[in-house]
Amino acid sequence: MILTADWVLPISSQPLSKGAVMIKEGIIQSVGRRDSVLAKYPKQQVKDLGSVILMPGLVNLHTHLDYTVLRGLGDDLIFFPWLSNLVRKSRSLDYRELLLSAKLGALELLAGGVTTIADTTATGASLEAATELGLRGIIYQEVFGLDVNQLNYTLNKAQRNYENLKSQAGERLRVGLAPHATYSVGRDLFRRLDQLSQAEGIPLCTHVAETQEELDCLLAGRGPLATDYRRAVGWQDIFWKPPRQTPVKYLADLGVLSDRLLAVHLVHANQEEFEILAEAGVKVAYCPKSNAKLGSGIADLPAMLENNLLVGLGTDSAVSNNSLDLFSEMEFGLLVQRAEQQRAKAVTAQEMVELVTIGGARALGLAAEIGTLEPGKKADLTAVKIDNLANQPVYDPYSTLVYTASSRDVIMTMIDGEIVYQGGPEFGEQYLKEVRELKKKIETGE
C-alpha cells in the first residue's frame, strides 16, 4: 500500500511536499516524492490522505493510564496535596475500574496520534489496556518501599509482579520496573532493583527532582514531605535518614544511574547534574504541562539538549495534566522555555517534534524500529489534517505541528501497517457509558 499526502515528514530528512510512503507487511519500503514512489511501485494500491502531514507515530514518554478517569480532580492543588488526593481516590477503584480508566487513556492516545508509550502502573491495568488496544512501548511496574525490615518481601513482590506482567505483555510491549522516587524507595531497595535490572536487562524508570519539597527533604530533612513522614513513621525506624544530597547526586552515590534508567521530570537539576546523567547514559522524560500545573517549576530543556541527554516528551497522567495531547505539550513545552530563557530560540519547533518522535524512540531503545520514516522501519504513522482554517497556510510543517495543530486534527493512526484509529466520533464510544457510571461512583464515594 502507498500512502500519499500533501506533506510527508520523515524526521530523518527534509520535509517532502507532495510525498508518499510505501508500506508492505507492516514495514516501510520507500519514502519520497509522490511521483517517484508511484513510478517505482506502479501496481500498488494507493491511498491518498490529501491535505495532511504524514509523520511517524508519536511517542509519549511518560504516562499513568490507570488514572485517566480521575481527570479534573484536584485541579487547584500543588504537588503533595495533589498526590495525597490521587492516592486516596485511586485506592477506591477496583481492578476492573482501573482497566476501564486505562483503556480510556489508551484510546485518547491513539486518537491523538500516539503509537508508543512509556507507562508506569502499580496495578498492571495499563499493560492489559495497551496490549488489547495495540500500543507499542514499555510498561513499568511501580515499586514503593521504605521499611528495611520488609526489604526482601518488597523485592520479591516486585519481581513477581514484573514476571506476571511480562507473561501477559503482547509482542509490542516490554515490561520494566519503576522505583517510584528517591523519597518513597529506600536506598537498599533501589540498589537491589538496579541489580535485578542489570542482571536481567530490565528497563528502569523513576521520578527524579520533580519538586522543591523533594530537594528540601533529601538535602536537609525539612519541608512538608519530611514533616509528613516524621509524623507517619519516624526517621529512624522505617524511613531512611536524609542523605544530605540532591536527588540526582543521591542516585549517583547509590550507583543506580545507567543507560537502562529513564529519569522523569528533572525540574530541580543543574548543569553539573545534567553532565552526571549524560555520562551515565540516563534518558529523560520532559513533562512541562504537568510540572507547571502542579506548581513544580520548569525543567531546563535547553541545558539537557546541550549536554546531549536523550530526551523525549511526556504528558504525565490525565490527573496532573488533564490532557494526553502531545501537540499541546509540544507548544507549551516550547513556549515556557522561551519565556523562562528570555530568548526566542531557546528551543525550536523542529526540536520539539523530534522529542515526540525519534527522541522518544531513542529514550526507549527503539530508534532502530520507529521514530522516523525510513525504509526498514516499522510502519507506525500518524496523519494530521491541515485543511482547516486554524492550520492554514502551511509554510513549515514543523511550525504547524507545534503552534497550530492539536490531537483533534489527527485523522489516522497506524501501528505495524495496521490502522488503529481512523477518525469519527464513534471511536471508543462503547466505553463511554461505563466511564460515566464510574464517574458517578467517584463523585458520590459509593
Over the chain, what is the mean pLDDT?
94
| Mean pLDDT, residues 192-205 | 98
Stated pTM of the model: 0.96
Task: Report strand pairing: 52-56 vs 381-385.
Answer: antiparallel
State the pLDDT at residue 226: 75
Q: What is the pLDDT of residue 229?
A: 65
Q: What is the DSSP letter of 240?
A: P
Name the percent of the chain lying above pLDDT 70: 97
Residue 366, pLDDT score: 98
Residue 106: exposure state from Cβ atoms within 10 A (0-12, 13-18, ≥19):
buried
More reliable by pLDDT, 398 or 424: 398
Q: What is the pLDDT of residue 148?
A: 86
Residue 128 CA to residue 405 CA, distance in Å, equals 30
Measuring CA to CA, which residue among 58, 61, 46, 54 is closest to residue 10?
A: 54
Q: Which of 286, 370, 280, 371 is nearest to 321 (CA)?
A: 286
Domain ranges within the chain, ordered by starting residue: 2-56+379-421, 58-363
- Tell me the fold of 58-363: TIM Barrel (3.20.20)
Q: Do domains 2-56+379-421 and 58-363 have the same CATH topology?
A: no
| pLDDT (mean) for 386-390 | 94
Architecture of domain 2-56+379-421: Roll (2.30)
Comparing 317 with 440, which gets the higher pLDDT?
317
| pLDDT tens figures, 211-262 | 999 999 999 888 877 776 666 555 444 456 789 999 999 999 999 999 999 9
pLDDT at 173 over 70: yes
pLDDT of residue 96: 97
- The answer to whether 53 touches 5, Cβ cutoff 8 Å, is yes
Closest C-alpha among 11, 13, 298, 10 to residue 21 = 10
State the residue for C-alpha cell 515556557: 336
Residue 421 has pLDDT above 90, yes or no: yes
Tell me what percent of the residues of the chain surpass a pLDDT of 90. Answer: 84
Tell which residue, 149, 94, 98, has the closest CA to residue 125.
Answer: 98
- How far apart, in whole angstroms, are the C-alpha atoms of residue 182 and residue 190? 8
* Averaged pLDDT for residues 197-210: 98
How much of the chain is in helix, strand and coil states, percent to nearest 5?
A: 45, 20, 35
What are the pLDDT digits (tens) for 102-148?
999 999 999 999 999 999 999 999 999 999 999 999 999 999 998 88
pLDDT for res 238: 47
pLDDT of residue 237: 45
Could you tell me the sign of the dihedral formed by the alpha carbons of 187, 363, 70, 336, in that order?
Answer: positive
Per-residue pLDDT of 44-90, as tens digits, reads 999 999 999 999 999 999 999 999 999 999 899 888 888 888 888 88
